[in-house]
Chain A
Amino acid sequence: MNKKVENVAKAMIDLKNGDTLMLGGFGLCGIPENAISELVRLGVKDLTCISNNAGVDDFGLGLLLHKKQIKKMISSYVGENDEFERQMLSGELDVELIPQGTLAERCRAAQAGFPVIFTPAGYGTEVAEGKETREFDGKMNVMEYAFKADFAFVKAWKGDEAGNLIFKGTARNFNPNMCGAAKITVAEVEELVPLGTLDPNQIHIPGIFIQRIFQGKNYEKRIEQRTVRSRS
């Protein structure tokens, strides 16, 4: 099956204002850079974005925030983004902060066909307010719904035209959990290889979860905190 599209513009041809998007990545690591650039170029508005972080002021989802293209963010941590914090505290941006594991599992539930999950995370905190809670084995749990999204944008290291994906390092993060968790999953890859090149034993995400795949370009892969030790 051939899921390959020519470029990022073709991959997003039916994206509309007001859509709900999932975007992979942790911090700036493993983010779908090409998809984000195209969203900026298209100027689509009123987006709901499900992503662990919101980028930094001048990169990642921070680019969309600056252009006020995002109506609502669903994230777990937004600490490195001043513009995000400003828009949130001023009420311009609707923000739902949820535990990181809950975010991952709400993606995975959508991917796996579970309507809800129960998790102990957030019980007794404001995250659980207004949500159904239930006791299992003497421990309280919060009911959380599977996400419903129009598009999932994920970034992988290698992929083939069947949509099979392999991730690299901690750039894996939320990307595999978002594959197949939206109506349309678009994968961008650093290296799109011919069918038969990838060893089936090494595939992280089978192509069945992917609708469109394209060869990404110009990856910046910005490092947020460059920490090193000296050789001496």
Chain B
Amino acid sequence: MLDKIGIAKRLAKELKDGYYVNLGIGIPTLVANYVPKSIAVEFQSENGVLGMGPFPFEGDEDADVINAGKQTITTLPGASFFDSALSFSMIRGKHVNLTILGAMEVSENGDIANWKIPGKMVKGMGGAMDLVASAENIIVAMMHTNKAGDSKLLKNCLLPLTGVGCVKKIVTNLAVLEVTRLGFKLLERAPGVSVEDIKKVTEGTLIIDGEIPEMSF
């Protein structure tokens, strides 16, 4: 089973040379720490920066330079700042190549829910609805089950949706899965996790085709 760092390391394998990438809040943000040295990628943050760098050294924080998680950041050589409309032009206009975001639920047809629990929690969708409605390459990073132990990979989402039929791939603490027309196709198992373990906590249709390799990263 993977921890959050492990999920981030596995996600980093999805990055390709030349990609512009938008990382959501939480586990996705960690992916920036594990970019393979052999490739060049640029991170976009939807509040208006392209070419995001690491956190600043203590004392160098600038209140005017933050990411979408409101964290202080730095910029790398070649970075740019822009307004919110232009930022979402990059997203809606499909100029951003890969979006990695968290989710509360994903359904077997690629629907995603991640912004609201009616009557309990309403944080808002932020940029997530724009990202999932437009990006062609959407990967969800999340735990396989919620805190109560229930599956987050469902036949149908129960929570209000963020987007429909948009998720392409899911990386969890247990597995890597692809969303296909027939359901969740199991691609890889986390180290020490069996296919049976994954079956038990996947409520949606799980397609197991031949030997499922253990992930490597």
**Residue positions of A touching B, CB distance < 8 A:** 26-30, 52, 75-80, 85, 88-89, 95, 97-105, 107-108, 119-127, 157, 167-177, 204, 221-231
Contact = CB atoms under 8 A, between A and B. Distances in A.
B85 A105 contact: yes
A120 B134 contact: yes
Contact of A125 (B124, B134, B162): B162
A219 to B, nearest CB: 9
A221 B92 contact: no
A170 B68 CA distance: 10
11 contacts: A28-B70, A76-B125, A77-B125, A98-B125, A102-B129, A126-B161, A170-B48, A171-B64, A173-B48, A175-B83, A228-B58
A103 to B, nearest CB: 8
B176 interface: no
B56 interface: yes
A170 B128 CA distance: 19
The interface centre, meaning the residue of B70, B72, B128, B162 with most chain A CB atoms within 10 A of its CB, is: B70
Interface in B18-67: 45-49, 54-67
B133 interface: yes
A172 B81 contact: yes
A170 B65 contact: yes
A177 B83 contact: yes
Which secondary structure characterizes the binding site on chain B?
A: loop
B203 interface: no
Contact of B133 (A89, A119, A167, A173): A119
A221 B73 contact: no
Contacts of B160: 125-126
Nearest 6 Cβ contacts at the A-B interface:
A101-B88, A101-B130, A124-B164, A79-B123, A169-B64, A104-B84
Given A100-B84, A221-B63, A230 B47 contact: no
Contacts of B122: 78, 85, 88-89, 95, 97
A85 B46 CA distance: 23
Among B119, B125, B164, the one with the most A-chain Cβ atoms within 10 Å of its Cβ is: B125
A172 B127 contact: no
A121 B131 CA distance: 8
A29 B161 contact: no
B71 interface: yes
B126 to A, nearest CB: 4
A173 B148 CA distance: 38
B69 interface: yes
Nearest to A220: B63
A102 B89 CA distance: 11
Given A108-B85, A123-B164, A177-B85, A225 B72 contact: yes
Contacts of A127: 125, 129
A181 to B, nearest CB: 11
